[in-house]
A and B are shown apart, each in its own frame.
Chain A
Amino acid sequence: MALKLKSIRLKNWKCYQNEEIEFNLDTQQHIWIVFGQNGFGKTSILEAIQWCLYGGDELKSSALLDSFNRIVLKKDPNLELSVQLKFDRNGDIYDISRTAKRVVRGITASAQTNEAIVQQNGINQPYSRECIEELLPRACKDFFFFDGVEIKRYAQRLHTKETLDAIERILGIPELRNLREDSGRALQSIEKKLKDAASINESLNQVTSKLEEVQEKIEIKKEQLQKAKEEYQAALEIQKGTEERASQIEELRDKLKDMNNLESNKSRKQEEWSEAKKQVERDLEQAPIPLLLEFVRGVAEDMQSTTMITARRSGSVSQLREILESEACVCGRCIDESSRIYILQELQRLETSGASRTKDALQQDDLRDRLVTLSRFKTPDFDSLLLRRDRLREELDQIEKAAYRLKKETQGLNQEEAEDIWKKVGESQQKVREHQQKIDRLKGESAVLLQQENELRREMEELASCNEETANLARQVTLADGLHQAAKELIEWRITERKKTIEEQTSKIHRSVTNKPEEYVGVEIREDYTLGIKNATGEIINPETLSAGEKEALAFAFIAGLNLESGTAAPLIMDTPFGHLDTGHQRNLINALPDLPSQVIVLATDRDFPDYLLQGVRSHVTGILKIKRLGATEDASTVEVAE
């Protein structure tokens, strides 16, 4: 069911005056590359395709005015432009064309867009919009017209309703939803007919009324069940969140303990450091003492010898006086009296001056003692004191850093919450159990009611079979009900089955395009089609935490996975998709192109497809086209076959 673009014809569209680009479909390869420098008209081709398909929904009238070729416009102000696309779907040729005319009224100009004309195998199709919607639904255009920046939204945490609808459209879900709705209405309508026909038969009438009652009860139960399921899901989310918080807190609780230890260690170290600091300050105050120590010792020794001399002199004076005052002569040559008196007078003078010297000597002795004490001063080991102080400061700094880090990590956590969290986990688990029990109870009650409904239906059929009309209507009711039930079951099955297969395909493609195939082992597609990446440890990574390149790789894998599984592979037209990516992702995405089931047309600059990467996929490329300027004007380009 592959849809392929066979040709594009552009007339007076932007820089193309009359251009036809053909894509040869008689080949096994399915990649085309259209090279063009910036401003040469690559995006103009993509815009032409989108405008031709979706008209004014895609390009507003004011913007369309700028799409008329400016060179031709000078000659003809009421110019007409046109875009014509030719698609091939399994041999059926779809020719889609759209024209617009520039209308000048006075000094104002406007653009009038005509409805697209669609021909299938040369036959005009009456509903062109519906026909285009069937070929390439506008809601899903992101899946065909690949814009690397735009598609990153598929890697977001939440999808918009439009995105959800587009995904379901690709998966073929809306037609099943419609069938469920329409078959339900058909059932109601036939049941009403049966009721009207059966009103003449009292027994049948009673059974039909009972059946209606039971059906009403079933509807009520269904609503209750739906509500209970929603409540269950909400409770499950709360439980999950609480358990996650609990496990975070468990981790943080150890950290909280570490932080408390650090705090007490910190105050102890702070005291030690302050003491060491004071010690250094004290010792520094006495720092001059060691410098003067040698001098002090010298002075003390000098004073010691002076004291000794004074003492000796004093002793000598006493001895001399004793000799002079003695009667016995010890020398044999005694001095005369006048000499003796003179000596005694001198001694007297010496003794008098000695008395005052004794006072000085006492003071000196005291000073000497103090100097001696000072000279015994023990010089502190400044190196080890400073080293100890600095070491303590470093330790303190490290403790403070570690405490700050832990404080940051445990921010918002308090002891109360830590103690309370497991209680909350228990409560949330209990709530989930209660909701589950409620669901089980409602399911049981619904099953009983359904059983009653079946029995009443059988009874009704038996009673109705007595009359041909009611018998036929009863058969119709049974068929309509069967169809309705089958549609309901089919939707659930289809969603689950599609999701599973797309998940497998997306995971496979993602492993080939990601830069981290060892780390990212798969892709998870959630209930609401949002994506998650499974890592090697089994955790699911939120895609919003990925880099821009990683997001694009993930979205590419998802879109390619959808395309592979949709069963209606549509052409993938990519406008300068790889130039902004890192070389790893660029190489991986380019190498993944040959595996896509659809036709791929890449509008590229040299940066998107560097030669070494082009050579890697060259064998899968059908053709290379090149956009060239005609003269030195941005209003005239042409597309030539390069290879």
Chain B
Amino acid sequence: MEEKLQELVAKYKIPEQLLKEAIQQEKEKVVLQKRRMVPILITMIERYADLPNSSIENDNYGT
């Protein structure tokens, strides 16, 4: 799984933490009838979009 996540973040140029955090949030809310995840995801995306590009790259490649 970890390897696949690395591959996907590189392919779609997204921060690794954004993907992992989003999956974790969905996992926690999977039992809820009304999970209301869209605003949470938008907030997360806004947060990562505010980061400078270099931080995203560092996040992706762990350097």
Contacts and interface: CB of A to CB of B under 8 A. Distances in A.
B26 A472 contact: no
Interface of B: 1, 4-5, 8-9, 11-15, 18-19, 22-23, 26-32, 35, 37-38, 41-42, 45-46, 48-50
A186 B45 contact: yes
B51 to A, nearest CB: 9
Given A480-B42, A493-B4, 10 more contacts: A133-B31, A175-B26, A176-B23, A182-B41, A189-B42, A478-B13, A481-B12, A486-B12, A487-B22, A490-B5
Nearest to A193: B42
A175 B41 CA distance: 14
Contacts of A485: 12
Contacts of B1: 494
A47 B48 CA distance: 49
A475 B18 CA distance: 14
Contacts of B4: 490, 493-494, 497
A190 interface: yes
Secondary structure of the A contact surface, majority rule = helix
9 contacts: A178-B26, A178-B37, A179-B37, A183-B22, A479-B48, A481-B12, A483-B12, A483-B18, A486-B8
Nearest to A174: B30
A179 B13 contact: no
Contact of B50 (A174, A472, A493): A472
Contact of B41 (A174, A176, A183, A478): A183
Interface of A: 127, 129-130, 133-134, 137, 172, 174-176, 178-179, 182-183, 185-186, 189-190, 472, 475-476, 478-483, 485-487, 489-490, 493-494, 497
A486 B8 CA distance: 6
A134 B8 CA distance: 27
Interface of B is mostly: helix
A179 B23 contact: yes
Contacts of B41: 182-183, 186, 480, 483
A486 B5 CA distance: 8
Nearest to A481: B12
Contacts of A179: 22-23, 26, 37
Contacts of A186: 38, 41-42, 45
A129 to B, nearest CB: 8
Nearest to A133: B31
A353 B35 CA distance: 142
B22 to A, nearest CB: 6
Contact of A130 (B15, B23, B32): B32
B8 A175 contact: no
B37 A479 contact: no
A479 B14 CA distance: 6
B11 A178 contact: no
Nearest to B30: A175
Going nearest first, the 9 A-B pairs with the smallest beta carbon separation are: A482-B12, A133-B31, A482-B14, A175-B26, A182-B37, A486-B8, A475-B49, A186-B41, A476-B49
